[in-house]
Chains A and B, each alone.
Chain A
């Protein structure tokens, strides 16, 4: 493999790995801050115990998100120096602002939160919890402002062979940001809800600390429902935005070769990328028109026509992204998301206080494994967002092949890919082991163990 292919693999692996930990950080930081708010307002120790219990899961997860984030920040210079030169005037600013506004805030106040329980007043400690949550989520906003420019460039000009910033507020106001950020934020909320429900279900099935885990479950069920519903609704509008701005990405996600009016939505399809056709399709008539325009008659352009348009606009070349990858990624995301709405809804209905959720053993066992769903959805959502942009690294402005560092030999990239891959593999094992250990630990045992240490 050449340096370009290896650099792409490295970006994919390190980014997916990083984003495996980020959404839980986003959602769980708010969840813990909400619990602590309840504790400070009501003065009930139970909520402090809940905040500390889920706070520990948060910290185990947070640590990996932070350290893998360093790789993300350096990687543009390491493997994509031509990208960094071309885009530095625009892309560097949100990254620096992310560090200045968000990284300092979350990193400083996480120290206050961990070490400050006995040292700060209740309200100051609560403020630290919220500042960690706000810092984490602001960090997501700025990196998405940067990413949104790559998806949908705005407020720029091309001068002297590079993209230059003309309007900072256009960058912040990029409509792509205001679909993507709420989508990511609500995905994080849903993921946190499902992870907490999963652990709480494990405990409730064993009748551990029901005074802690029943309310935890109830809170998490509502939290998961809000997140799952929002992520779906926002995703729907985001899809409509993409039909307008990145039609090739959406057509790829539908494996729609020919223009259709009205357009049907394929639930499954047998895709032949070589022949540019589908051997079979299971279609819902008019559904794709509805998803695209909220009506059942609109025309949705197919890949072949879009390719012709792209050649006319950008010159000779292949502009069709990897179809199977996008098609199935989209279906995994939407499928997992739909199941999440269903499960969260049932969890809310069945844990409304009048009924004993603990007795629904089959459902509770399902929920122990349900956290896999948000992880699948967010991972494949990003696979689609990033690979659907192919062949562009910056949509319409720079191709991936022109962005790679020319001076880094393939074996260097291969070496770092192996080293980081092994390290990330080990970290996954350690983090999952610790997460399971602390997630399954009895509240009392954990407190006494901490005191005896």
Chain B
């Protein structure tokens, strides 16, 4: 396997980590105003991700950094091309990060409610926008011979990609509800379980519609060679299991099922793209792929060595933090930190 393929897989792995971890983080943020009726309940919900959200967000930063290092043209084309959408996402992420840290430091309820909405918007918008972005990646955008996309924001907001955005929101909400069902107790837990099943229905309906549309509108599932068909089938099985398990009251299994659905869906996207990364709708020859967009073999070698050493270390200490903070969070002000 050549290094370009290795790095395509590594970038995929980073996006899997990002969507899996930030998936439930965003879901928790989206559910915050609805599942937390009282201040201490909302605090409890925030505390379920309090120790880990920042580490989770680094998966996105690392995915971006790794893309810059391994496929700089993809980084340049994607970020300059999706300019306004990314600016909106940055604003959302800034609000969200500050809100987690500052909310508790304001004593009055009016300020705290404002921060709650910052967390809600700051979680909903990135989920939606990443979905829209992924939809556009699968569909392709008008990239010219110089690897630039000139179309601006409006062509990106096409129905197919917006449906992709809604799929992300629904999936992440379900993922977050299953997480909260495991991490809270009492009334919040009961509400989370209720939402877990309802959001599963929404996620399933939207995902089925999106996959069918994908089958007809893109070559992600059908192109010869590596494509997204098998991972799409696995994602479907995993997603169906979530409904079964949450009906049966097994939320641990439901959470694992939802996680696998996110993992396989991400693999579906990247397998369907491979070896392309950004598809040009003007001319297939203008597409950015793992060769014409890549760094030199020397840089890829250096980065492979660094990643081989440090990714396992990161995994070990991040898993350890989840172990340390594995207990359920009670809505009891005496034990809450944030």
Contacts and interface: CB of A to CB of B under 8 A. Distances in A.
Top 8 nearest A-B pairs (CB, nearest first) are A88-B72, A77-B79, A92-B69, A111-B51, A92-B68, A63-B101, A96-B65, A81-B80
A88 B76 contact: yes
Given A70-B61, A407-B81, A88 B148 contact: no
B307 interface: yes
Given A74-B90, A103-B61, A107-B55, 17 more contacts: A63-B97, A63-B102, A70-B97, A76-B75, A77-B80, A79-B80, A85-B72, A85-B147, A89-B295, A92-B295, A96-B62, A100-B306, A104-B58, A168-B298, A407-B149, A427-B98, A453-B107
Interface in A401-434: 405-409, 412, 415-416, 419-420, 423, 427, 430, 434
B91 A423 contact: yes
Given A119-B324, A165-B302, A434-B102, A76 B68 contact: yes
A88 B75 contact: yes
Nearest to B104: A453
B216 interface: no
Interface string B186-213: 0000000000000000000000000000
A48 to B, nearest CB: 16
30 contacts: A59-B101, A60-B102, A60-B105, A63-B97, A70-B97, A74-B86, A76-B79, A84-B76, A85-B72, A88-B68, A88-B69, A89-B295, A92-B299, A93-B69, A93-B303, A93-B306, A100-B65, A104-B55, A104-B58, A108-B52, A108-B58, A112-B324, A114-B338, A159-B296, A164-B298, A165-B302, A166-B298, A407-B80, A412-B83, A453-B336
Contact of B65 (A90, A92, A107, A110): A92
Given A96-B303, A99-B62, A114-B51, A66 B68 contact: no
A396 interface: no
B86 A120 contact: no
A268 interface: no
Contacts of B105: 60, 434, 437-438
B61 A108 contact: no
Contact of B302 (A93, A108, A116): A93
A453 to B, nearest CB: 6
Contacts of B68: 76-77, 84, 88, 91-92, 95-96
Contacts of B76: 77, 81-82, 84-85, 88, 405
Contact of A98 (B65, B147, B324): B65
A85 B73 contact: yes
A9 interface: no
A252 B101 CA distance: 42
Interface in B45-92: 47, 50-55, 57-58, 61-62, 64-70, 72-73, 75-81, 83-84, 86-87, 90-91
A409 B150 CA distance: 9
B75 A108 contact: no
B325 interface: yes
Interface in A148-173: 159, 164-166, 168
Most A-side CB within 10 Å, residue of B79, B307, B336: B79
A111 B25 CA distance: 14
A280 interface: no
Interface in A24-67: 59-60, 62-64, 66-67
A416 B65 contact: no
Contact of B299 (A73, A93, A406, A407): A93
Nearest to B87: A416
A397 to B, nearest CB: 15
Contacts of A234: none
Contacts of A269: none
Interface in B121-157: 146-150, 152
> How many residues of A sit at the interface, in one of the four size bands?
35 or more
Contacts of B158: none
B325 A119 contact: yes
Interface of A: 59-60, 62-64, 66-68, 70-71, 73-74, 76-79, 81-82, 84-85, 87-93, 95-101, 103-105, 107-112, 114-116, 119-120, 159, 164-166, 168, 405-409, 412, 415-416, 419-420, 423, 427, 430, 434, 437-438, 449, 451, 453
B56 to A, nearest CB: 8
Nearest to B311: A100
B5 interface: no
Interface string B313-338: 01001100100110000000110111
Contacts, number: 224
Interface string B31-55: 0000000000000000100111111
Contact of A77 (B78, B98, B310): B78
Contact of A107 (B57, B69, B72): B57
Contacts of B81: 407
B93 interface: yes
B94 interface: yes
A121 to B, nearest CB: 11
A166 B302 CA distance: 11
B62 A108 contact: no
Contact of B80 (A63, A95, A105, A408): A408
B48 to A, nearest CB: 11
A111 B299 contact: no
Interface in B245-284: none
Nearest to B333: A453
Contacts of B98: 63-64, 67, 427, 430
A14 to B, nearest CB: 10
A419 B91 contact: yes
B62 A165 contact: no
Contacts of B318: 104, 108
Contacts of A84: 68, 72, 75-76, 79
A94 B218 CA distance: 36
Given A88-B73, A91-B68, A111-B52, A423 B94 contact: yes
B101 to A, nearest CB: 4
Contacts of A407: 80-81, 148-150
B118 to A, nearest CB: 11
A221 B64 CA distance: 41
Nearest to A108: B55
A73 B65 CA distance: 8
Given A108-B54, A416-B87, A165 B73 contact: no
A66 to B, nearest CB: 6
B196 to A, nearest CB: 25
A445 to B, nearest CB: 12
B235 to A, nearest CB: 27
